[in-house]
Amino acid sequence: MREIVLDTETTGLDPSQGDRIVEIGAVELYNHMSTGATYHQYINPQRMMPQEAFAVHGLGDDFLRDKPLFADIAADFIDFIGESRLIIHNASFDMKFLNAELRWSDRPQIPTQQALDTLAIARKRFPGSPASLDALCRRFNISNTARTLHGALLDSEILSEVYLELVGGRQPDLTLAGNGASVVGHKSQTQEWRPFPRPTPLPSRVSEDELKQHAKLISQLGDTPLWLKFNQ
């Protein structure tokens, strides 16, 4: 199963007010393991960067001026994510911006159901507790010391670790379920598995000499050694 952990940085909070994406970062997972494949792109938003947004991610006008427009990178981005499930923290925010940029580029929208919101998962698992990416890093003891400012690729890499913890730790598909269930992700079984007796018993690995020495030791322990009681 292929999944893409994704994050964006923007000029603000609302594309309907003219805000744009300025950075996309994504990490590829396959069967809940990182493949090492990533997507990372800075984007020219064609507008001035508000100071409030600059304080969050540090991407300024001079840096972004020579970067490509979203329309120029849209094809490569869509090719990378394909139809894979998108793992996003606060998915409604990023999906709103991605679909706005795709609409402005005359490209099809990404279906809402293609995204999985880790913020919603965290709030369900830990009701009433902080569910920001930093808070979840603290909860799961995941280092985010390199995160002085928000960065889309770095945040995606951190989120990939948080996501694996939220769904049961690394390689959750190898977790054996209780109550007779089969391994997650494999064909289910309706009957509880039980071991069958061996058709041919395994030969003893205790030699005759060892049996004699053991019997001699037991004979020296008195008339009613515990060994004889448990060996009946």
Read off the pLDDT of residues 201-226 as tens digits, 9 standing for 90 and up: 767 777 888 888 888 887 887 777 77
Q: Which of the residues 40, 57, 150, 214 is marked catalytic? A: 150
pLDDT exceeding 90 applies to what percent of the chain? 68
Q: Which amino acid is at 28?
A: E
What band does 232 get if pLDDT is binned at 50, 70 and 90?
A: low
Strands (E), the chain: 2-10, 21-30, 33-42, 85-88, 115-117
- How many other C-beta atoms can be found within 10 angstroms of the C-beta atom of residue 66? 8
In this predicted structure, the answer to whether residue 197 has a pLDDT above a threshold of 90 is no
What band does 186 get if pLDDT is binned at 50, 70 and 90?
A: very low
Comparing C-alpha atoms, which of 36, 60, 37 is closest to residue 47? 60
By mean pLDDT, which of 155-159, 165-169, 176-180, 206-210 is the weakest?
176-180
Q: Is there a domain that residue 228 lies in?
A: no
What band does 126 get if pLDDT is binned at 50, 70 and 90?
A: very high
Q: Is 40 a catalytic residue?
A: no
**What is the overall mean pLDDT for the chain?**
86
- pLDDT at position 1 is 93
- pLDDT at position 177 is 45
3-class DSSP assignment, residue 216: helix
- pLDDT at position 192 is 53
Comparing C-alpha atoms, which of 23, 4, 172 is closest to residue 88? 4
pLDDT exceeding 70 applies to what percent of the chain? 82
Cα 7 from Cα 171, distance rounded (Å): 22
3-class DSSP assignment, residue 42: strand
Residue pLDDT, tens place only, 58-116: 999 999 999 999 999 999 999 999 999 999 999 999 999 999 999 999 999 999 999 99
Q: Is there a domain that residue 84 lies in?
A: yes
What band does 173 get if pLDDT is binned at 50, 70 and 90?
A: low
Q: Is 31 left (phi over 0), alpha (psi -120 to 50) or beta?
A: left
Contact 140, 95 (CB under 8 A): no
What band does 183 get if pLDDT is binned at 50, 70 and 90?
A: very low
Q: Is there a domain that residue 208 lies in?
A: no
pTM > 0.75: no
Cα 8 from Cα 102, distance rounded (Å): 14
Give the residue numbers spanning the domain of 132.
2-174
- pLDDT at position 179 is 45
Q: Is there a domain that residue 226 lies in?
A: no
Q: Is there a domain that residue 168 lies in?
A: yes
Q: Is there a domain that residue 41 lies in?
A: yes
Dihedral angle of Cα 201, 203, 209, 213, to the nearest 10 degrees: -40
- pLDDT at position 178 is 44
Q: Is there a domain that residue 185 lies in?
A: no
Mean pLDDT of 30-43: 95
> Please, what sign has the CA dihedral across residues 168, 89, 128, 144?
positive
Q: Is there a domain that residue 189 lies in?
A: no
* Domains: count for the chain: 1
In total, the chain counts a number of residues equal to: 232
CATH number at residue 69: 3.30.420.10
Contacts of 48 (CB under 8 A, 6+ apart): 61
Mean pLDDT of 20-48: 96
Contact 83, 110 (CB under 8 A): no
